[in-house]
């Protein structure tokens, strides 16, 4: 798909959503009660008061060994022995205190070697239909885990993975975990990445204040947050890309959805710009395009963007609403929305309603 058709697809999804909401509120609390002349705008003009979607449950195929795989993956996710130099676990770059994202603007891998991008937030990765990573280069969580393990993140080296898997399997405490998950205690690369992926599918964030509000608890959002939701769905047009209930259209479309938001292009030579999605597809229309990140837990995951270039949530929101960096490929959906300072702060206040209450428990390592 070209960027333009992606943009149209997003717009269609956004527009469809809005018209559904309009219809919902017209048949609900009803335009009839507050027609022209009654002063207050009719509820139908406030998208926050229309029909909203809460997060669905994550549907997974039956697997009687799933819990055992999760237990194994949980230990492995936190285990620094999985890395080449013993310095890092998966968890090191996706920690509770950073909302399961990263604290460093650009992540620092094993051997203290900087990677090229910011650690994304792992909440709800199990919902993604392919397109893992900022550029969508991994098709599955298993493939992604293998890449992070063999690559610079954990620094084992792709060729050394089988040997590392054997090393993990030789740790006495891991043997019963492998046996419970896979029927015998042999460790392998495939089994390890399967277990990591099953554990990641437990990172579900589906009961935020927004979800409660969408399910009918009208006290779950403050009045200011409801106004922020109006801006999010209406004037700010954020929902065209950060589409509820996932708050990312990328999680709702096979293979993900990518846009050029101008991040990392300003004041740079074209040759020095991270080409993002274009590296995967080789399409010029994907130049400097990145996956739309979910905004769940966003208030707890500074800094922001694929390059960690926005230090605060207000900076990131202001950038997205009132001035994404112009460049040869900027998405047409990112024009200046001219939000006022109070609309911006309402928007930020609404984004706080997407906080995920959960944390990952630190396991006792085998």
Which residues here bind ligand HEC, judged by CB under 6 A? 88, 90, 92-94, 107-109, 115, 117, 119-122, 125, 132-135, 141, 144-145, 148-149, 153-154, 196, 200, 236-238, 240-242, 259, 261, 263, 290, 292-293, 295, 298, 301, 304-306, 316-317, 320-321, 331, 333-334, 337, 347
| Gap between the terminal Cα atoms of the chain | 46
Encoded tokens for 233: 């769905």
The span from the CA of 362 to the CA of 200, in Å, is 14
For residue 125, the minimal CB distance to ligand HEC (Å) is 5
The span from the CA of 19 to the CA of 44, in Å, is 11
For residue 360, the minimal CB distance to ligand HEC (Å) is 12
Contact between residue 231 and residue 261 where contact means Cβ atoms under 8 Å apart = no
Measured from the CB atom, the residue of 246 and 337 that comes closer to ligand HEC is 337
Task: Classify residue 235 by burial, with Cβ atoms within 10 Å: 0-12, 13-18, 19+.
Answer: middle
For residue 173, the minimal CB distance to ligand HEC (Å) is 19
**What does the buried/exposed string (b/e) look like for 5-37 if buried means 16 or more CB atoms within 10 Å of the residue's CB?**
ebbeebeebbeebbeebbebbeeeeeeeebeee
Measured from the CB atom, the residue of 144 and 194 that comes closer to ligand HEC is 144
Measured from the CB atom, the residue of 46 and 164 that comes closer to ligand HEC is 164
127 φ/ψ sector (left φ>0, alpha ψ -120 to 50, else beta): alpha
For residue 34, the minimal CB distance to ligand HEC (Å) is 28
Measured from the CB atom, the residue of 176 and 255 that comes closer to ligand HEC is 255
How large is the greatest C-alpha to C-alpha distance in the chain, in angstroms?
77
Measured from the CB atom, the residue of 42 and 155 that comes closer to ligand HEC is 155
For residue 240, the minimal CB distance to ligand HEC (Å) is 5
Contact between residue 173 and residue 366 where contact means Cβ atoms under 8 Å apart = yes
The span from the CA of 309 to the CA of 312, in Å, is 9
Measured from the CB atom, the residue of 34 and 188 that comes closer to ligand HEC is 188
The span from the CA of 288 to the CA of 131, in Å, is 16
For residue 51, the minimal CB distance to ligand HEC (Å) is 21
Measured from the CB atom, the residue of 29 and 130 that comes closer to ligand HEC is 130
Contact between residue 317 and residue 351 where contact means Cβ atoms under 8 Å apart = yes
Upper half-sphere CA count for residue 242 (Cβ side, 13 Å): 22
For residue 321, the minimal CB distance to ligand HEC (Å) is 4
Measured from the CB atom, the residue of 17 and 42 that comes closer to ligand HEC is 17
For residue 318, the minimal CB distance to ligand HEC (Å) is 9
């Amino acid at each position: 798909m070209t960027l333009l058709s992606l943009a149209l697809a997003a717009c269609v999804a956004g527009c469809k959503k809005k018209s559904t909401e309009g219809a919902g509120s017209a048949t609900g609390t009803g335009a009839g009660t507050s027609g022209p002349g009654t002063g207050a705008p009719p509820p139908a003009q406030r998208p926050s008061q229309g029909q909203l979607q809460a997060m669905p449950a994550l549907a997974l195929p039956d697997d009687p060994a799933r819990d055992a795989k999760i237990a194994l993956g949980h230990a492995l996710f936190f285990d620094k022995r999985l890395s080449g130099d013993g310095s890092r676990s998966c968890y090191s770059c996706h920690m509770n205190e950073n909302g399961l994202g990263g604290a460093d603007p650009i992540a620092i891998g094993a051997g203290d070697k900087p990677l090229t991008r910011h650690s994304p937030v792992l909440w709800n990765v199990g919902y993604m239909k392919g397109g893992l990573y900022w550029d969508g280069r991994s098709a599955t969580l298993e493939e992604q885990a293998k890449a992070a393990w063999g690559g610079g993140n954990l620094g084992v080296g792709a060729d050394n993975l089988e040997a590392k898997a054997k090393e993990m399997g030789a740790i006495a405490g891991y043997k019963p975990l492998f046996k419970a998950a896979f029927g015998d205690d042999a460790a392998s690369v495939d089994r390890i990445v399967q277990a990591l992926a099953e554990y990641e599918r437990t990172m579900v964030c589906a009961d935020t204040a927004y979800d409660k509000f969408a399910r009918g608890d009208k006290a779950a959002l403050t009045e200011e947050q409801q106004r922020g939701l109006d801006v999010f769905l209406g004037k700010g047009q954020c929902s065209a890309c950060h589409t509820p209930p996932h708050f990312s259209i990328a999680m709702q479309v096979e293979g993900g959805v990518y846009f050029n938001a101008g991040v990392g292009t300003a004041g740079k030579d074209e040759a020095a710009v991270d080409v993002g999605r274009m590296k995967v597809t080789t399409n010029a229309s994907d130049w400097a395009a990145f996956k739309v990140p979910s905004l769940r837990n966003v208030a707890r995951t500074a800094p922001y963007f694929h390059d960690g270039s926005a230090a605060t949530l207000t900076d990131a929101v202001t950038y997205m609403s009132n001035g994404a960096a112009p460049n040869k490929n900027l998405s047409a959906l990112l024009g200046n929305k001219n939000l006022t300072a109070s609309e911006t702060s309402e928007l930020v206040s609404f984004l706080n309603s997407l906080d995920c209450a959960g944390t990952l428990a630190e396991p006792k390592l085998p």
